[in-house]
Amino acid sequence: MALIVNTNIQALNAQRNLDVTGGKMSKALEKLSSGLRVNRAADDAAGLAISEKLRAQVRGLNQGARNAQDGISMLQTAEGALNEVHGILQRTRELAVQAGNSTLSASDRTAIGEEVLTLKNEINNIASRTKFNGLSLLTGSLSTTQDATSTVKTGVQLTTTAVVDVAAVDVSKLKADPAGVTTYTLSKVNATTLRITQGGQSTDVVNTDGTIGADGTITFAFNGVHSASITVVGVTAKTVDDILTDLNTKTIVTAIGAGSAAYQVGSESSDTISVSYADMQASALGGASKIGTLIVDNTNVSTVGKANTLLASVDTAIQEVSTQRAKFGAAQNQIETAITSLGVAAENLSASESRIRDADIAKLSSELVTRQIMQQAGVSVLSQANSSAQIALSLLQG
């Protein structure tokens, strides 16, 4: 074996291996201290990508479960209020049955009518007071996509795209049919007057603004507080006459009545449960003869005939409230089932993510002991390699 003083190959080799051992021991210590097998992409590039997707799904599922709990609270708020409405309707029915008896005097009927009127007003009060996080639940206006300036979800547009200069129609304030979809037909009367027809009834509205500038808005007010606002877009202005010509024979379709809520109960945008929240005000209850229409003052049961008519309306209202409460109950059961399913899915996905990201402490502890022994051995070998050059010195001394 050649004796070399300038370059100590054995020492370099021992030092290189000692560096490798030190690096591995450092990684083992890092994994043990963090509890993670994958601390950076270099540790396991594919595993990191997979585990991040799993982690996103798990967090989405956990948030979906929290959303579902909020949804249950919202449903219970609405259903609890309807329980009180049921009690009011039962009392109203009792009074209507009482008023159907011919033994009562006029003053008796007036006294009964006063209580019935008060009960009707309280139904409306309950509907307006029942809110969850500022959202009205029993007025038929609930919508997760409400316009900022509207209390009614409309989803409105012109039914034709032929009128390119009229881009959008906001009819959120129009008086729509409580039954649901309402269609308004527009027709031009003259240069300033628009006729709006719905259900065989027409209203003429006048606008004398003259010329509407580009991206301007023209408003036709009718029926007191109701209006149709039409936004005109383009690079040029248009006169009211031109706009009315464009709108002639066109229709506007509105959707109103039962609002709805979509509860996000999963990690994907499609994981939703929709629940309809119908209008539970007196003006919407009672079938064809709404109790809000029948009860306007204390003469609502002034005759046996009125009492019998009110009785039939209240029976229908009780059934309508029962149906809505049943929907809330069924939705609550569905959401509770979804919460259980979300918990199971999150647990299993967390286990998968853990197998990729989390460190096996027992395995790493054994590996650390091995690296420590190898490091000690490496230091010893390096010491021996450094002393090997002294053999050459002994030759020179001899």
* 20-24, 243-247, 251-255: the lowest-pLDDT one: 251-255
* Whole-model pTM over 0.95: no
**Each residue of 184-208: pLDDT tens digit?**
778 888 888 878 776 666 777 777 7
Nearest CA to 245 out of 203, 191, 195, 198 is that of 191
Rounded CA separation 288/302 (Å): 21
Q: What local confidence, expressed as pLDDT, does residue 168 receive? A: 43
Q: Mean pLDDT across the stretch 152-173?
A: 35
User: For all residues of the chain together, what is the average pLDDT?
Assistant: 79
- Going by their DSSP bridges, the two strands 226-232 and 166-170 should be labelled as antiparallel
Q: What local confidence, expressed as pLDDT, does residue 92 receive? A: 96
Q: Which class for 100: exposed (0-12), middle (13-18), buried (19 or more C-beta within 10 A)?
A: middle
**Each residue of 268-307: pLDDT tens digit?**
888 889 888 888 999 889 988 899 989 999 999 999 999 9
Q: Mean pLDDT across the stretch 386-390?
A: 73
Which residue would you say has higher pLDDT here, 86 or 41?
Answer: 86
Give ∠ CA 86-89-90 in degrees, rounded to 5.
85
Rounded CA separation 284/290 (Å): 6
> Which band of pLDDT confidence, cut at 50, 70 and 90, is reported for residue 398?
low
Q: What local confidence, expressed as pLDDT, does residue 158 receive? A: 34
* pLDDT higher than threshold 90 for residue 343: yes
Q: What local confidence, expressed as pLDDT, does residue 218 receive? A: 64
Domain 57-144+260-350 has CATH 1.20.1330.10: yes
**What residue ranges do the domains of the chain occupy?**
57-144+260-350, 166-255
> Which band of pLDDT confidence, cut at 50, 70 and 90, is reported for residue 216?
low
